[in-house]
Amino acid sequence: MGWKDFYQEQVEKSTMQVREVPVTNIRIWGIQPHGNLARPDGMFFIIAGLTIFMGDPEQREVPNWDQPIIKEIGRGCVGLIKAKGEDKFLVQFKAEPGNITPGKVLPNSPLSASESNLKAAHGGKRPPFAEYAENPEIQWYAIPQDGGKYLGKVNKYSIIEVDPAKIAVPGNCLWVTKQDCREMLGAGLIPEHLLQVFGIMYLMF
């Protein structure tokens, strides 16, 4: 099956429904004693506040400002699985609540998880391919994220080469080629993390 048909199939299978609500209404999360929006257990991330002053006001558009910022707990992990000796990559077609696409589905790396997800801090299942995040033989690259939105956030990225015959492929994953990915890019379907990991692959291979 080609990626377009597979993508449409995953869109039709998606049952995710999203409704915006006031932050005061979301379950578990709330304003904690330290004044930040967070979970009581401190996992996943917090929304903190910053006040910024510029010693040299000419270095930015304004001399000072206040803003909220996301502070993630631990490092995120993004791994793209590549078939050994082949121009094929395993891509996960996954629904996320902030996506703008039908069914909230976009292609992404098959391993894309926060440290809290890897620890199953939500009380549910660990993400697919979580074992690769703990494999000391895999080379990971620390990539700082957008410092205008995230406080000290660093994700680790890797290209994980495997024998396709030796891994179980989840139902929402598909082996695709570089040309397939170019087509997804042209269709506006390649999200930030997948684009970043392809950038690392360009430098590595």
Q: According to the model, what pLDDT value does residue 118 have?
A: 84
Residue 5 has pLDDT above 90, yes or no: yes
Average pLDDT of span 144-156? 93
Chain-centroid distance, C-alpha 46: 16
Q: What own/partner pairs with CB < 8 Å and gap ≥ 24 does 3-8 have?
A: 3/91, 3/107, 3/174, 3/176, 3/180, 3/183, 3/184, 4/183, 6/93, 6/174, 7/93, 7/105, 7/107, 7/189
Q: Specify the higher pLDDT residue, 176 or 1.
A: 176
Give the rounded percent of residues in the chain with a pLDDT score beyond 90: 78
Please tell me the pTM assigned to this model.
0.87
- pLDDT tens digit string along 62-72? 999 999 999 99
| Domains and their CATH numbers in the chain | 3-20+74-204 (3.90.79.40), 23-72 (no CATH)
> Please, what is the end-to-end C-alpha distance for the chain in angstroms?
27
Average pLDDT of span 179-193? 96
Contact 102, 94 (CB under 8 A): no
- pLDDT tens digit string along 73-91? 888 899 999 999 999 999 9
- pLDDT tens digit string along 113-141? 888 888 877 878 888 898 998 899 999 99
Average pLDDT of span 189-205? 88
| Secondary structure (DSSP) of 58-72 | GGSSSSEEEEEEEEE
Tally of CB atoms within 10 A around 99: 18
Q: According to the model, what pLDDT value does residue 183 have?
A: 97
Residue 6, SS3 per DSSP: helix
At 98, is the pLDDT very low, low, confident or very high (cuts 50, 70, 90)? Answer: very high
Residue 176 has pLDDT above 80, yes or no: yes
Q: According to the model, what pLDDT value does residue 205 have?
A: 66
Q: According to the model, what pLDDT value does residue 141 have?
A: 94
Contact 36, 68 (CB under 8 A): no
Sheet strands (E) in 9-75: 30-31, 37-38, 45-53, 64-72
Contact 181, 190 (CB under 8 A): yes
Q: According to the model, what pLDDT value does residue 186 have?
A: 97
Please name the helix (run of DSSP H) or strand (run of DSSP E) that holds residue 83, with its range, or none: strand 76-83
Average pLDDT of span 150-161? 94
Residue-averaged pLDDT of the chain: 93
